Amino acid sequence: MATTTTFHSWIHHDSQADRDSLSSQKSQVFRHVAAHRKWERLQRTRKLRASALNVYHTFQEQGQPRSQIDTHFAGSCDPFDTLPIPHTYQVNELLQFDQRHLSPALAKSIISLHPSATFLQDELAAYGFLARIAAVKARCDPHPEAFNVVLKLKDKAMQQLRLNLSQTPLARLPKAVMSLLFAETWCYNLEAVAVHLRLLEVINSHSGLDTDDLICVLHSDIQRATLTLGSPLFTVDGNTWDILEAEYTAFLWPQSDADTSIQWPQLQPLVDMKKALVALHVLKTSEVSEAVRQAATIKFLHIMRTLLEQYRTSPDDVEQCVALAALYRLRLEANMERIPLFKITVYNAGKEILSRLQELLTVISNDAPSVRLWVLFVGTMSGDHWFREEFTIQAQTLGLTSTDRIKACLDVFEEQGVPYSLMDRPENC
């Protein structure tokens, strides 16, 4: 069982392996927190008189008893008024932003994630999740006060955990940690993200995360990693992947009717991409059980992680290029890329991916011409003018003078059917 020391180390953001190297950073954090708390005390003093007058006028104008004035705001996402957060204008504003803009935008993804209410109705997770909403809102409409709101909410979230940690069952801890993970991810605070993921790994290894919780963590981790083409930080061992994906594998194998006569590309990233497209097809069109849906989702996210690692570790330029193009192709197919939100676009990994693809395509200009054509085709999905021009030139170079011939060439890469020999066959088949 995970020790209390592990959780207290996470709360104070200590690293047991390397405390000395973080001492200077911690000193800076403590000074920042002290200054922020001084500012809060001043703000409370200034608002005290105004708050008292507001209550007085409320009594005069509405005649409401005190118990009704000190209500809790639930917003339209919680019509039964169960949200464990005091009713303030600030909270109201954040909930409305989430309902009108954030949740509808992120819900367009094929990957099904927890609704906001899952976190907002959890006493330990609510403030952290509000900090996440505030961090996104600050990105959409940046101004100094917006960032102060994020800091205040994160501080309240950590206070809640410190006060309740010793009495909190392990099963209730993940969502509180996840809410802070999401907030720090949107704040680009990589050190804090790593700390939260480390604790989630500890919980997962000792008692196991709920499957939908795990999906949310894997989704957040791969989105963050892809935006910078860095490595995923949340680790899962190979045997665990097999167990998590078993329901999907058992469901898929008897139903596979792929044509084994097609000319199949031999590059492993393309094989992986085909498997991921099949998983997405199951999520989008099949009437499947919840267990199969969860397993198919985990399979898809696992393959995305694999493609990113193939790009980062492969010594072969062609394989790097194909892995990166496959990753971008899957992001587009799953609606995980370039999501319009309020006045901005979020999860725009293509900015980094397409630039890197141009560099790799220049290096492999004379290698694997049909693969190069497909990579350029993937690039055209972004609407980039350079990829459209290069795609036309490459098609002419290959003598593909008609749309049908171009389609026949691309179908080798784009068709979703997977030959039996390449499927993940269950051991009992």
Q: Which residue has the higher pLDDT, 309 or 44?
A: 309
- Is the CB of residue 118 less than 8 Å from the CB of residue 170? no
Question: Quick check: 403 pLDDT over 50?
Answer: yes
pLDDT in tens, 191-223: 999 999 999 999 998 889 999 999 999 999 999
**Which residue type occupies 260?**
T
Mean pLDDT is highest, among 68-72, 315-319, 413-417, for 315-319
Cα distance between residue 276 and residue 310, in whole Å: 15
Element (H, E) at 340: strand 339-341
Least-confidence region, from 29-43, 99-113, 223-237, 317-331 = 29-43
Predicted confidence at residue 226, as pLDDT, reads 98
Residue of 335, 343, 368, 372 lying closest to 357 (CA atoms): 372
| Encoded tokens for 164 | 């309740």
pLDDT for 24 equals 59
Q: Given this model, what pLDDT does residue 390 score? A: 96
pLDDT number for residue 75: 40
Distance CA 122, CA 336 (A): 27
CA 336 vs. chain centroid, Å, equals 9
Residue, of 178 and 171, whose pLDDT is higher: 178
pLDDT exceeds 80 at position 368: yes
Among 4-18, 62-76, 350-364, 397-411, the range scoring the smallest mean pLDDT is: 62-76
Over residues 348-362, the pLDDT tens digits come to 999 999 999 999 999
Q: Tell me, what's the pLDDT at 261?
A: 43
pLDDT at 333: 96
Question: How many alpha carbons lie under 13 Å from residue 70 in its C-beta half-sphere?
Answer: 4
Res 57 pLDDT > 50: no
If one compares 415 and 387, the residue with the highest pLDDT of the two is 387
Of the ranges 257-266, 277-286, 418-427, which is most confident? 277-286
| pLDDT(292) > 90 | yes
pLDDT of residue 306: 98
Percent above pLDDT 90 for the chain: 61
Which tokens in the block code for residue 43? 């703000």
Average pLDDT over residues 32-52: 59
Is 385's pLDDT higher than 60? Answer: yes
Mean pLDDT score, 71-97: 67
Structure confidence at residue 1 as a pLDDT band (50, 70, 90) = low
pLDDT exceeds 90 at position 43: no
**Whole-number pLDDT of residue 309:** 98
Residue type present at position 120:
L
Strands 344-346 and 339-341: antiparallel
pLDDT recorded at residue 5: 57
Higher pLDDT, 19 or 403: 403
Burial, 22: exposed, middle or buried (Cβ in 10 Å; 0-12, 13-18, 19+)?
middle
Q: Name the one residue in this structure whose structure tokens are 């995923």.
A: 232
CA atoms 234, 188, 13, 25: torsion sign: positive
Instruction: Tell me the sheet residues that pair with 339.
Output: 346
The confidence score (pLDDT) of residue 255 equals 56
What SS3 state is found at 344? Answer: strand
Read off the pLDDT band of 412 (50, 70, 90).
Answer: confident
**Pair of tokens at residue 163:** 């006060």
Per-residue pLDDT band for 238 (boundaries 50, 70, 90) equals confident
Contact at 8 Å (CB) between 277 and 296?
Answer: no
Calculate mean pLDDT across residues 374-390.
96
pLDDT recorded at residue 41: 63
pLDDT for 258 equals: 46
The three-state secondary structure class of 196 is helix
List the helix and strand counts (H, then E) for the chain. Answer: 20, 2
- Report residue 300's pLDDT band, with 50, 70 and 90 as the boundaries: very high
Q: End-to-end distance of the chain based on CA atoms, in angstroms?
A: 36
Region 143-156: mean pLDDT is 93
Is residue 363 scored above 80 in pLDDT?
yes
Query: What band does 365 get if pLDDT is binned at 50, 70 and 90?
Result: confident
Average pLDDT, the chain: 82
What six digits make up the tokens of 121? 């109705």
Residue 49 confidence (pLDDT) above 80: no
List Cβ neighbours of 24 (8 Å cut-off, separation of 6 or more). none
Quick one: pLDDT at residue 96? Answer: 94
Tell me, what's the pLDDT at 25? 58
